[in-house]
């Protein structure tokens, strides 16, 4: 191959005078330099003029692009927020799982069936259902000289606590024994003072939904 090129060059030197060869080379060089200059300027012009054109001629299309970008960004943010919310919900669910198809009247019925044997008469029932983020509270006017009982029933591991407040707002009884860490199913009180008493129901440890019933009853 090398031999072939050398031979070709020798033929050129022999066939054409060196001046002609020099002129040809010179013209080639000039055209190359010119071409480079033209291409370079064109490239530079392209680079500088394109954003200006975008700003002026294609203003609407840029705005559209920006809007779509913003919308996409918003959508992404919304998606992120939704994901976060769902995550939070899942955490809440874990802390406070819902109890489906709760039947508080069933619990109330179970309690009232036990009243007759203990000599108590039914007075009022309380359905305990719904989220347990705050206690369920009721008030009732208790009369002096009457014995009252508050009986509760709930699902097995509910740790449902009843607190009784006197008319002055002082806690006078709780079904949770903190010393022995024990829950009792009822409170009895022989009322010595007629007044409005508050009964509060809450879950002591877990935050699952309320699902149970309570009955206020009396005997003389």
Partner 1 sequence: MKKVFYSFLTISLCFIIACDNDSEISQVASDTTKRVKSGKEAIDKKTIKEFVDRIPSPMIISSIIKDSGIDYDQTLLNSVDNESKYVIEFKQALNLGVFSTDLGYANIYEKSQDAINLLVGVKDMADNLKIGQYFEFEKIKQLSKSKDKLDELLQLTEENLININNKLYEQDRSDLTVLIITGGWVEVMYLATQVVQKKPNKDLEQMIADQKIVLDQIVQLLDYYASQSKMRDLHDELVDLQKSFEKIKFTQSEGESKQVEKEGTVVVEQGGSEQAEMSKETLNEITTKVAAIRNKIIS
Q: List contacts with partner 1 (CB under 8 A).
A: 112, 115-116, 121-125, 138-146, 149, 164, 166, 170, 172-175, 177, 184-196, 218, 220
Taking the complex as a whole, the smallest distance from the CB of residue 70 to partner 1 amounts, in Å, to 22
Q: Are strands 182-183 and 186-190 parallel, antiparallel or unpaired?
A: unpaired
Adjacent-strand bridge partners of 198: 139, 165
Whichever of 122 and 155 has its CB closer to partner 1, that residue is 122
Taking the complex as a whole, the smallest distance from the CB of residue 134 to partner 1 amounts, in Å, to 15
Q: Whole-angstrom Cα distance, residue 40 to residue 101?
A: 79
Whichever of 96 and 200 has its CB closer to partner 1, that residue is 200
Whichever of 3 and 192 has its CB closer to partner 1, that residue is 192
Q: Whole-angstrom Cα distance, residue 179 to residue 170?
A: 20
Whichever of 78 and 139 has its CB closer to partner 1, that residue is 139
Taking the complex as a whole, the smallest distance from the CB of residue 99 to partner 1 amounts, in Å, to 23
Task: Tell which phi-psi region holds residue 219, choosing left (phi > 0), alpha (psi between -120 and 50) or beta.
Answer: beta
Residue pair 196/167 in contact (Cβ under 8 Å)? The answer is: yes
Q: Whole-angstrom Cα distance, residue 21 to residue 27?
A: 10
Taking the complex as a whole, the smallest distance from the CB of residue 167 to partner 1 amounts, in Å, to 9
């Amino acid at each position: 191959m090398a031999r072939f090129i050398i031979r070709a060059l020798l033929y050129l030197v022999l066939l054409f005078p060196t001046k002609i060869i020099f002129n040809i080379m010179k013209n080639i060089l000039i055209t190359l330099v010119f071409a480079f200059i033209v291409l370079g300027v064109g490239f530079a012009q392209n680079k500088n003029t394109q954003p200006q054109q975008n700003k002026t001629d294609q203003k609407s299309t840029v705005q559209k692009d920006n809007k779509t970008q913003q919308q996409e960004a918003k959508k992404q943010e919304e998606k992120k927020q939704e994901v976060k919310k769902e995550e939070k919900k899942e955490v809440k669910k874990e802390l406070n799982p819902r109890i489906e198809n709760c039947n508080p009247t069933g619990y109330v019925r179970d309690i009232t069936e036990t009243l007759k044997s203990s000599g108590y008469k039914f007075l009022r029932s309380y359905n305990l259902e719904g989220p347990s983020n705050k206690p369920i509270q009721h008030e009732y006017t208790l009369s002096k000289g009457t014995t009252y009982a508050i009986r509760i029933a709930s699902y097995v591991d509910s740790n449902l606590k009843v607190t009784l407040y006197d008319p002055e707002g002082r806690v006078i009884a709780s079904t949770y024994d903190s010393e022995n860490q024990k829950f009792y199913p009822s409170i009895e009180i022989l009322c010595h003072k007629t007044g409005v008493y508050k009964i509060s129901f809450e879950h002591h440890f877990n935050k699952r939904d309320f699902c149970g019933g309570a009955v206020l009853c009396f005997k003389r």
